[in-house]
Amino acid sequence: MVNHDHDENLREIDVEDRGSNSNVPQGDNWMEEETSEGQLMVDMYQTPDEIVIQTMVAGVKLDDLNVSIGRDMVTVKGKRETQKNVDEEDFFYQELYWGSFSRTILLPSEIDVDAAVASEKNGLLTLKLPKIDKERQTKLKIKAV
């Protein structure tokens, strides 16, 4: 689902995503502590025509993921809900990140916001962001009025 913001150079893409956080709080109430957001790990690369960003979002509903893009920046925000059906004393390990996450990425070149595409398959979120070709020129046809 795509929502256009008030700024014509900003576009939001609602999908699903989740981050990981290796800094698990210690102490008796570490499961209740949610003072900071987790940060997503991403791969970002370019092709001749686009910038591609990929991140793992397994376990996150698409409705709980929000991707905002501008011509030079991308922000991915979301929340992964934990199932509270296991008592704390029954865990041997609890290493997965649960809660809110976000990641803002500055892009190496400007992109065409309106042509950007987000897709999710098997827990992998892929953003394809077409580059703006600043060298491209075209002839403008003049109409008589």
CATH code: domain of residue 36: 2.60.40.790
Q: What is the pLDDT of residues 27-46, one digit of tens each?
A: 444 444 445 778 789 999 99
CA atoms of 10 and 113, how far apart (whole Å): 7
Asked if residue 142 is part of any domain, the answer here is no
Asked if residue 140 is part of any domain, the answer here is no
Asked if residue 32 is part of any domain, the answer here is yes
Q: What is the pLDDT of residues 16-26, one digit of tens each?
A: 333 333 333 44
Asked if residue 139 is part of any domain, the answer here is no
Question: Residue 6's pLDDT is what?
Answer: 38
Structure tokens at 21: 């956080």
Residues in the chain with pLDDT < 50? 1-10, 14-34
Question: Residue 12's pLDDT is what?
Answer: 53
Asked if residue 136 is part of any domain, the answer here is no
Question: Residue 75's pLDDT is what?
Answer: 95
Asked if residue 98 is part of any domain, the answer here is yes
Question: Residue 13's pLDDT is what?
Answer: 52
Number of structural domains found in the chain: 1
Domain that holds residue 39: 2-130
Strand partners, 131: 111
Q: What is the pTM of this model?
A: 0.67
Asked if residue 60 is part of any domain, the answer here is yes
CA atoms of 22 and 18, how far apart (whole Å): 13
Beta-sheet strands, E only, within 1-145: 2-4, 11-15, 38-39, 43-46, 50-56, 65-69, 73-80, 99-106, 117-121, 124-130
Contact 66, 14 (CB under 8 A): yes
Structure tokens at 133: 């070709």
Contacts of 90 (CB under 8 A, 6+ apart): none
Question: Residue 87's pLDDT is what?
Answer: 85
Question: Residue 2's pLDDT is what?
Answer: 36
Q: Residue 101: enclosing H or E segment and its boundaries? A: strand 99-106
Asked if residue 145 is part of any domain, the answer here is no
Question: Residue 98's pLDDT is what?
Answer: 83
